[in-house]
């Protein structure tokens, strides 16, 4: 059985949202987009998308609306606020919030949607801009199986994997788990290279020596060269990882569990944001480890 | 130009040393072995190795002697002690210490060897028992290029990669860098799964959802299933990772640099060793994160 492609709305055309929306246009979907940045909308229109007048207008013209914004307050505003998605969404509309936000906010948004007969999934992603461009993101989903099945063809165009992790909020809990591992891994590579540099070793040689062993990781492959080449162009900004780690610690507080390593990483990102380094790629966590050690990691 | 295979000595037939020595026998080397555990020696003799009477005897009968023991004091005793390697090694002998020990001890051993006209490499490995068996270890080497070149054919039978990282001690500095990353990664996976479990998610589902993204790593593939299947059979024991992290912190103290994440991990391993869990696989770092949270990670 073949089904017609649903009309898709896409709100939020930032570093991640723009290539994601573009992949849906390329896949033959009729896509209506909205962003506060007009130039981003124009780019997508050039690619073949239609421009909506607001998030509400996008939802009115679509059957499924994807949301890709920066944080919990933005998700709430775009979904629940004036001229927001719920103003335009008909009963049976599916909202897919692919933003990385607090799990409790996802639960709240799911309830607000249900009250209007609108279906909801939280579906944050991992992989950064390169995988957004390639359509190979890892997608972590919270919500009902029937809604997951409905969104599946879209996820297949955006990601290499999409996994239903549980009820509303479960996608964002999984994303927080992901962000703990990513931040810890970056900072571990940073401490490892600071130690090696201080001992007089070439950090690039150390990278080559350990990448093939148990220390090997996607983070090491992506971020260690950025560190010793001193290229901190984002990618994924420290200020966004700070937001995610704040969500980790808020969630942990709600559950009354201590996560000491995550707490340390949250404080490292806080220090970097406060010293004006929030716009750097998160490989720039290195700069905190360097600052407290008086060491600069750099290949000779 | 082909050269005859050197006669190889191998001292230390533990979890790692036994399969490594076996791989050299299989590759056609004439190998003389010694270990304090007689049954391990007998196994290797069955495989085709000769039994030495002591480390000194092994060195006397060999041109290159490999050492694979558990810590700095053992390396010092086997190399410098009574009936040790240096008692039996002729001028021009090459000692390859593949144990994971303190970099400063490697430097000391290198000097002691040089005083007797014996060449020395520190060449610790990563990858654990599976990669020791497969001959696909990552080998991190400190010493002279000519000695590295001489050992290269042996490294090719033991590992998938061998990288000369610098002078004596550089192999072990690199190994410490490796162990920081491995421990941090294990503990990060632990905190991530504790959070997910507390939120009511299936830890196996979370693993499946995030392994393909930026959080993916060799550690996650190897250790996350051990965690949610509650199989903590070593593998690599927590007490050995404790020893490595002690070496990290001693080295950091010598260099007067703070490594806060490594320090935390050292304390976690110390707590686990003190509570009788030192013999568990290092995936058992999970048990500290669980204990402080009152959560048990387990697939349903």
Residue A273 pLDDT: 98
CATH 3.40.50.720 applies to domain B8-167: yes
Q: Which residues contact B57 (CB under 8 A, 6 or more apart)?
A: B32, B34, B83, B88
Contacts of B117 (CB under 8 A, 6+ apart): B91, B92
What's the confidence (pLDDT) of residue B295? 98
* pLDDT at residue B92 greater than cutoff 90: yes
Of A126, A193, A264, the CB nearest to B261: A264
Q: Tell me which chain B residues have a C-beta less than 8 angstroms from the C-beta of A262.
A: 191
Threshold 0.90, pTM exceeds: yes
Best mutation target, A140, A163, A197, A210, to test chain B (most B CBs within 10 A): A210
Paired tokens of A288: 């905190």
State the pLDDT at residue A76: 98
What is the predicted pLDDT for the residue at B128? 84
Query: What CATH number was assigned to the domain covering residues B174-293?
Result: 1.10.1040.10
CB pair distance less than 8 Å for B215 and A188 = no
Task: Please say if the pLDDT value at position B87 is more than 50.
Answer: yes
User: Which residue in B has a C-alpha nearest to residue A163's C-alpha?
Assistant: B209
A71 to chain B nearest CA, in Å?
20
**Residue A3 reports pLDDT greater than 70:** no
Q: Region B91-99: what's the mean pLDDT?
A: 98
Mean pLDDT of all residues in B151-158:
98
ipTM score: 0.93
Would you state the pLDDT for residue B4? Answer: 85
Rounded to whole angstroms, the Cα distance separating A204 from A197 reads 10
Which residues in A lie closer than 8 A to residue B180 (C-beta atoms)? 188, 191-192, 195
Residues of A numbered 192-211 whose beta carbons fall under 8 angstroms of chain B's beta carbons: which are they?
Answer: 192-196, 198-202, 205-206, 208-211
Q: Which of B175, B223, B243, B277 is catalytic?
A: B175
Over 80: is that where the pLDDT of B2 sits? no
pLDDT in tens, A80-109: 999 999 999 999 999 999 999 999 999 999
Residue B24 in contact with partner chain A when CB distance is under 8 A: no
A 128-187 residues inside an 8 A Cβ radius of B: 128, 131, 137-140, 160-161, 163-166, 169-170, 173-174, 176-185, 187
- Find residue B97's DSSP bridge partners: B67, B122
B281: its two tokens: 């696989």
Would you give the distance in Å from CA B25 to the centre of its chain? 20
Domain positions in chain A = 8-167, 174-293
User: Residue A188 above 70 pLDDT?
Assistant: yes
The beta-carbon neighbor of B209 closest among A174, A208, A214 is A174
Helical packing angle, B218-228 and B170-198, nearest 10°: 40
| Contact assignment for B191 to A259 by CB distance below 8 Å | yes
Q: Using 50, 70 and 90 to split pLDDT, how confident is the model at B1?
A: very low
Residue A235 has pLDDT above 70, yes or no: yes
Segment B171-210, tens digit of pLDDT? 999 999 999 999 999 999 999 999 999 999 999 999 999 9
**pLDDT tier, A197 (very low <50, low <70, confident <90, very high otherwise):** very high
Nearest CA distance, B7 vs chain A (angstrom) = 27
- C-alpha B203/C-alpha B208 separation (Å) is 9
Among B136, B67, B135, smallest CA distance to B106 is for B67
User: How much is the average pLDDT of B33-48?
Assistant: 97
B interface test, pick of A148, A160, A173, A209 with most B CB neighbours within 10 Å: A209
The span from the CA of A4 to the CA of A201, in Å, is 59
Active site residue A175: yes
Residue B3: pLDDT band by 50, 70, 90 thresholds? low
Q: Which of B140, B210, B293 is facing A178, going by the closest CB pair?
A: B210
The CA distance from B98 to the nearest CA of chain A, in Å, is 14
Q: How far lies A170's CA from each of A174, A247, A259, B239, in Å?
A: 6, 13, 19, 36
> What local confidence, expressed as pLDDT, does residue A1 receive?
44
Q: Do A257 and B294 touch (CB under 8 A)?
A: yes
Q: Which residues contact B171 (CB under 8 A, 6 or more apart)?
A: B106, B121, B122, B123, B124, B140, B141, B142, B143, B165
Provide the shortest C-alpha distance from residue A76 to chain B (in Å). Answer: 22
Minimal CA–CA distance to A59: which of A46, A42, A37, A78? A78
CB environment B120-130: b (16+ within 10 A), e (fewer)? bbbbbbbbbee
* Average pLDDT over every residue of B19-28: 98
């Amino acid at each position: 059985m073949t089904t017609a492609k649903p009309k898709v709305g896409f709100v939020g055309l930032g570093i991640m949202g723009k290539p994601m929306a573009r992949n849906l246009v390329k896949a033959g979907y009729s896509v209506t987009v909205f962003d506060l940045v007009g130039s981003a909308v124009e780019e997508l229109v050039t690619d073949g998308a239609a421009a909506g007048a607001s998030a509400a207008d996008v939802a009115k013209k679509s059957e499924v609306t994807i949301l890709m914004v920066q944080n919990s307050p933005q998700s709430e505003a775009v979904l629940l606020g004036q001229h927001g998605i719920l103003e335009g969404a008909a009963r049976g509309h599916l909202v897919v919030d692919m933003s990385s936000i607090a799990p409790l906010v996802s639960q709240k948004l799911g309830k607000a949607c249900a009250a209007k007969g609108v279906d909801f999934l939280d579906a944050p992603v991992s992989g950064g801009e390169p995988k957004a461009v390639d359509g190979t993101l890892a997608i972590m989903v919270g919500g009902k199986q029937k809604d997951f099945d409905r969104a599946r063809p879209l996820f297949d165009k955006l990601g290499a994997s999409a996994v239903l992790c549980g009820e509303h909020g479960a996608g964002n809990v999984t994303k927080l788990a992901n962000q703990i591992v990513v931040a810890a891994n970056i900072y571990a590579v940073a401490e490892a290279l600071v130690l090696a540099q201080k001992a007089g070793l070439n950090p690039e040689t150390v990278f080559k020596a350990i990448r093939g062993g148990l220390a090997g990781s996607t983070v090491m492959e992506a971020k260690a060269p950025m560190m010793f080449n001193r290229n901190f162009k984002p990618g994924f900004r420290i200020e966004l990882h700070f937001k995610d780690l704040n969500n980790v610690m808020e969630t942990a507080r709600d559950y009354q569990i201590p996560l000491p390593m995550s707490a340390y990483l949250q404080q490292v990102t806080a220090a970097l944001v406060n010293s004006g380094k929030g716009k750097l790629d998160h490989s720039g966590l290195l700069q905190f480890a360097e600052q407290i050690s008086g060491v600069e990691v750099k290949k000779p």
